[in-house]
Amino acid sequence: MRHPQLAPVEVFLDPRQPIVTRTDLRGSIVYANPAFIAISGFSAAELIGQPHNIVRHPDMPKQAFADLWRTLAEGKPWRGMVKNRTKSGDFYWVEAYVTPVFEQGQHVGYMSVRTAPKRNEVADAERLYAEIRQGLAAFPATRQPWTPSLLSVGGGMVGCLLLAVLFSMLTPSSWLGVALLNGLALLAGVWMTLSVR
């Protein structure tokens, strides 16, 4: 942790390196890509098996996570701005896309792709979350237009993203694996942006 007399500073996610994690049904991390390991300050060994809230920042309103879990329980993806805390006590903002993962028809966990947000979105989120913590505002419920065509496209995206993650794990030094993973993460983010309101 950061020395208590040093103020936390903001660190920034590289827009070319989205964060990808996968958790089990309880929210324990089963996969973390190198970008997440780097920005979090934790080692892979410190992250795997731990609850994803290991990086939760106290500024995040509880209502945001209540909405996330309610949305995921309906089998739908969730999108939102999230402030995370690093191992050293610093912080970083991400635009998070979280979706349930199914294998052979069984719900097995969740995958999250986080990208670098725009600064105006960070400012809006900071203002809203401060008002929520003060009891002056409510967290806006996630609204989902959900159609079978979006579901099938989304399922395919998640499947491709998982394959890219596995490929990058098997060939971590391969620029092709990294490029494929980043491209699919971007496509998954675009799909979820279109499917989540």
* CB 52 within 8 Å of CB 27: yes
Domain with 33, as residue range(s), is: 19-139
Q: How confident is the model over 33-84, as pLDDT tens digits?
A: 999 999 999 999 999 999 999 999 999 999 999 999 999 999 899 999 999 9
Can you give the pLDDT at residue 84?
Answer: 97
**How many C-beta atoms lie closer than 10 Å to residue 137's C-beta?**
15
- Domains identified in the chain, total number: 1
Token code pair at residue 96: 């998070």
Burial class from Cβ neighbours inside 10 Å (0-12, 13-18, 19+) for residue 54 reads: middle
For residue 117, the domain's CATH number is: 3.30.450.20
Partners of 107 in the beta sheet?
Answer: 102
| pTM, entire model | 0.71
Residue 185 lies in a domain: no
Give the residue-averaged pLDDT of 13-19: 95
